[in-house]
Structure 1
Amino acid sequence: MSKRLRSVRVRAAAAAYVLRRMGPPLLYAIGYLLTATLVLRWDLHRHGERLPDFVETVWSLWTLLVFEPTEPFPHTPIARAVFWLTPLAGLFLLAQGVFKIGASLFDLATRREVWTAIMTDQMRGHVVVCGVGHVGYRVIEELLGLGEDVVAIEQQVNDSFVEQVRNRGVPVHVGDARNDELLEKVGVGRAKAVVCATSNDLANLEIALDAKRMNPEVRVVMRMFDQRLAAKVGGALELDQSFSTSALAAPIIAIQATCQGVRSAYRLDDVVRVTAEVRVGASKPETKISDLEERIPCRVVSRRRGAEGPFSSVRPSDVVRAGDLLVVDTAAVDLPAVRFQLGG
């Protein structure tokens, strides 16, 4: 959905919310005006007083209801009572409307809850992240960087990550993600993916099962601290992906402890692969990237000319020169050999 269309839909939803909140007082006002008009006309008629037409009577009572009377005070007793009661009714209805709308406009918690509900209702094909801790917060950052719509659930509202996520424009629902009603509220039924990133393995498992039950097509990624359990659960329950944060972090920690310039590490089957920076040696001749990749067990991901400046993507026909800083993808065991062959 385009930002412009979403902005229009959000404004329409906000207007609808105000109308829903103001609906009962408005209906009460209309009911009172019609009833008071009939009573006033009946009393004037039975005492032989001049009767204005029906619309004029409604208008006179309306002006009285909003504290701006336009008609003189009547002489008949019931009509006088109507004139006394009408401003009081207007004061009561005004107080009801101000209270209902004011609670939404001036109370931070209520205003935030309304905004969260409206924003969530407009989302389709979004990602639901359950748990806004260290892992959940980083996942949300990456998803926003990819241009994805995100809705979050967090049980601990005093966590500093929650405010940071809200400041990025992400709706955060407060509560237990194992609650079916809350999962429905965040739109699991129309989401593209659910990330279970709380610090409780059993809670993540329950959330994953509930999400699949509500939406069998949704992609579920589940965090688990126990790596062996993660592998067993993911396969047995047909979840899309289960992961252990310690297992993901272990390769990069081990490689960075022994090698400089390593940017990331990942495990592919039983092989740990890394992306690392490698400086081309001063004595190396110019070489096409395609030729370099045939001779050396690596793939060139990006390149930077000289000592400063941004990294840029590369093509097989691009030429590598002495002094270039390359980011290469290679097996961790091959990294020393790659550096030796490129750096001399």
Structure 2
Amino acid sequence: MGGSRRHLRANLRYLRALVRRFRTTLVLGLALFGGGPLLFDWRYVGPAGERISFGEALHHVYFLLYGQPSLPYVHDWVIELLNVVIPPVGIALVADGVVRFAYLFFARHKNDKEWIEVVTETMKGHVVVCGAGRVGYRVVTQLREMGKDIVVVEKREDAAFVSALRDERVPLLIDDTRSPLCLPRTNVKHASAIVCATDDDLANLNIALDARKLNPSIRVVIRLFDEDLSGKVRDTFKAEALSSSSLAAPAMALAALDPRIVHSFHLGKHLMVVSLFEAREGLPGMSISEVRDKFGGLALVLQRGTDEQLHPVGEEVIRPGDVLTIQASYQEYCRLRAHAGEAEPPIWSHQDLPVWPGHRQVG
């Protein structure tokens, strides 16, 4: 229900943006099909002195667009002027305005540059993601789960996730980021953040500089392969520069030491880890708050059978067989593993199945 309402609001915002963009066309159309028939109705007198209705006048104006007047010729300079002016003005109006308006409204799936420019006019506080590769696509997926409006810019039509983004109806601009019109088409002036996630360090830096020039207050996140460069950019450019190697290194190192760690990251000088704990020894009988107070472990999820609790309450008592997702510093994690009788990481058997120290493998 919420998704359909959001989709309806997006359509209404898009329609308002189209009306604002084509306001000159709409005014001319109103003058042509509203004012034109009124002038004919007021001024036209047939050869036998007969008057015409507004409907007949509108019919005449419509067929004048195709050079086929439906009323007999009369000697009146206002009528003659209208008969001469309406056909070229009407053709230009229909060709340039009405057809383009209808195309943009009914063919939004085409994802052409003009459509993207109109769509982004409806956005404020959105995030611009540059790069439709694996990293860019994951960033987009995460931001969409958080309910953010997103515009994606990609240089190549055949990039890895272009088709997937289009299937998910994410606004996608195929353009060269070095073009001076590229970022303005994404309405970067009103964006809250830009993520530079292409596979080219220089291109990412150029995008960041151009974005800051257009929007000095925009938050900038840059993906860089050069770790030394990322540090310099972070200090001097006041942007969040992330090196792929620095992000991956802690996870890879800890995975090599202990496969029970599912995630790791640095929080200042502290190495934080996230791991799954199956309550077998030590943990059963303890409450969630006791695990936190004694070992510094923050329980993120408690799974009991098919029931899963996010952020379990502190008074919850852990039962045998419960599975907890716990976040802690690496030192606190090691103490908690020792308390659970699992100080050493599992030993991999010839069947590639983990054998926990102190426990026999079944089968």
> What are the residue-to-residue correspondences of 1:133-282 with 2, within 5 Å?
133-239=133-239, 241-282=240-281
* Whole-Å separation in 2 of the counterparts to 1:163 and 1:194: 22
TM-score (norm 1): 0.77
Match of 1:116 in 2: 116
With over 3 angstroms needed to count, the CA separation of the structure-2 counterparts of 1:75 and 1:275, relative to structure 1, is: closer
Q: How many residues align?
A: 333
Q: CA deviation at 1:129?
A: 1.1
Q: Secondary structure at the match of 2:161?
A: helix
Larger mean Cα displacement after TM superposition, 99-108 or 310-319: 99-108
What is the CA–CA distance in structure 2 between the aligned matches of 1:305 and 1:17, rounded to whole Å?
56
Q: 1:18 to 1:326 in 2, by over 3 A?
A: same
Distance 1:284 1:104 in 2: 61
CA deviation vs aligned residue, 1:80-115 (integer Å, no higher than 9, x gap)? x99x99998799579737754565478778665454
Residue segments in structure 2 that go unaligned for 5+ positions in a row? 343-363
2:322 — aligned with what? 324
> Contact 1:296–1:341 at 8 Å: present in 2 too?
no
Pairing of 1:54-69 with structure 2 (within 5 A): 56=52, 60=56, 62-67=58-63
Say yes or no: does 1:11 pair with 2:15: yes
Give me the whole-angstrom Cα distance separating, in 1, the residues matched to 2:154 and 2:294.
50
Secondary structure of the residue aligned to 1:287 is coil
1:302 corresponds to 2:301? yes
Equivalent residues of 2:280, 2:320 under 8 A apart: yes
Query: How has the CA–CA distance of structure 1 residues 100 and 328 changed in structure 2, closer, same or farther, with 3 Å as cutoff?
Result: closer
Deviations 1:114-169 (A, max 9, x none): 54233211111111111121111111111111111111111112224123223333
CA–CA distance in structure 2, aligned partners of residues 71 and 334 of structure 1: 89
In structure 1, C-alpha distance between the alignment counterparts of 2:21 and 2:318, rounded to whole Å? 60
SS of corresponding position for 2:308: coil
| CA shift digits 1:218-238 (9 cap, x unpaired) | 111111111111011110122
One-letter amino acid matched to 1:192? S
- Percent identity for Structure 1 against Structure 2: 27
Q: Is the CA contact (8 Å cut-off) linking 1:21 and 1:100 kept in structure 2?
A: no
Question: Which amino acid is 2:229 matched to?
Answer: L
C-alpha displacement at 1:299, in angstroms?
Answer: 2.5
Q: Give the letter aligned to residue 171 of structure 1.
A: P
The 1:116–1:147 alpha-carbon spacing in structure 2 relative to 1, beyond 3 Å, is same
Q: Compare 331-340 and 294-303 and name the one that shifted more.
A: 331-340
Structure 1: distance between partners of 2:127 and 2:101: 31
Alpha-carbon shift at residue 260 of structure 1 (Å): 2.9
Does 288-297 or 120-129 show the bigger shift?
A: 288-297
CA contact (8 A) 1:121 1:187 kept: yes
Structure 1 CA distance, aligned partners of 2:84 and 2:319? 91
Q: What is the alpha-carbon distance in structure 2 between the residues aligned to residue 211 and residue 71 of structure 1?
A: 56
- CA distance 1:121–1:278, change in 2 (3 Å): same
C-alpha spacing 1:296/1:29, structure 2 compared with 1 (3 Å): closer
1-structure distance, mates of 2:48, 2:108: 53
| Contact residue 22 and residue 101 of structure 1 kept, 8 A | no
Which residue identity does 1:301 align to in structure 2?
L
AA of the residue aligned to 1:254: A
Q: Is the 8 A contact 1:60 1:70 kept in 2?
A: no
- Using the alignment, how far apart are the partners of 2:108 and 2:190 within structure 1? 28
Asked if residue 341 in structure 1 is aligned to residue 345 in structure 2, the reply is no
- The amino acid that maps onto 2:201 is D
- 8 A Cα contact 2:18 2:101, kept in partner: no
* Higher deviation after alignment, 127-136 or 161-170: 161-170
Q: Pick closer, same or farther for the CA change 1:108–1:8 going to 2, 3 Å.
A: closer
Q: Which one is further off, 96-105 or 270-279?
A: 96-105
Change (3 A) 1:309 1:254: farther
Q: Which runs of 5+ in 1 are unaligned?
A: none
